[in-house]
Amino acid sequence: MKILVPDVPFDLDFPSLLPDGGASFAPGGADTVVAYAMNEPVPEEHTDAEMLVTWSSPPKILADAARRLPQLRWVQTLSAGPDVALRAGFGPDVVISSGQSLHDDTVTEHTLALVLATVRRIDVSLAAQREHHWAKEIAFAQADPVTGREYTLDGARVTIWGFGSIALRLAPLLTALGARVTGVASRAGERSGYPVVGPDGLDALLAETDLLISLLPAIPATRHILDARLLGLLPPTARFVNVGRGATVDEDALADALRSGRLAGAALDVMETEPLPEDSPLWDLPNLILTPHVAGGRPRGAARFLADQLTAWRTGAELRNVATR
């Protein structure tokens, strides 16, 4: 099987992980591995590939691969979400699987950083620093009995929307800081000791939420799911952090909520259009922190994950993270 692997500088050195020195990735036959430039179309001599591994390739490159690789049977993305691959136009017989779990630690760290930055008003301090202003008003606000609890996670009611592997890593850290964490998922219940509500419990939960964290994937059902109505359910002192996908948020509604003060603040690592256009109103919104989709950073343990996936493919075992088409 010819396998196309992106030419990226992280652990994709398969031979060092395999007992046979890389002659084959798994029982059942030899594989040919070809590195390709992830920002360029697949060279014509490699359009006979049967497997494509992707990482941060632009949508137009994946769409080109969908048109030009007729023998392709499997697309394995190293991104936590397979949304770009799902929109590329690969045939219905092509299996698409994601790199979920490869980013749990880094996304968790970045989410926690954004949460603390917005709660502790680090953006305000940085703006004051640029102006050489000693922002003592932040300390006064924290000391105010009326607003003091808005500056801490201790006792905060935190809702994590999209309660998967990243949430299960993040929730204990928030708990350690004193937060009361509740999850939202497709089914209600309990996961690792945390209460989880289903869609029918979302409205009531948002009305009692101090901090909403979205880890939602970008699928048709989640497009602009956080809209003006749901944002309006949050208390005006609430804050929102998005490290899932930008398409899940109605950005116009979010902008209105921040400008009007109906939402106290937000922090976004993902936006609907990336890179964020220079004329986007998001750049200048009050109480908004932006980072350029860097929460994942790089997949960790990618080589071992891919070797295990290839073994499963060869032996007919179940692949991990197969996307629903």
Residues involved in catalysis: 245, 293
Q: Which string of b and e fits 160-179 if b means at least 16 CB within 10 Å?
A: bbbbbbbbbbbbebbeebeb
Tokens describing residue 84 = 């770009």
Alpha-carbon distance of 100 to 165, in angstroms, equals 8
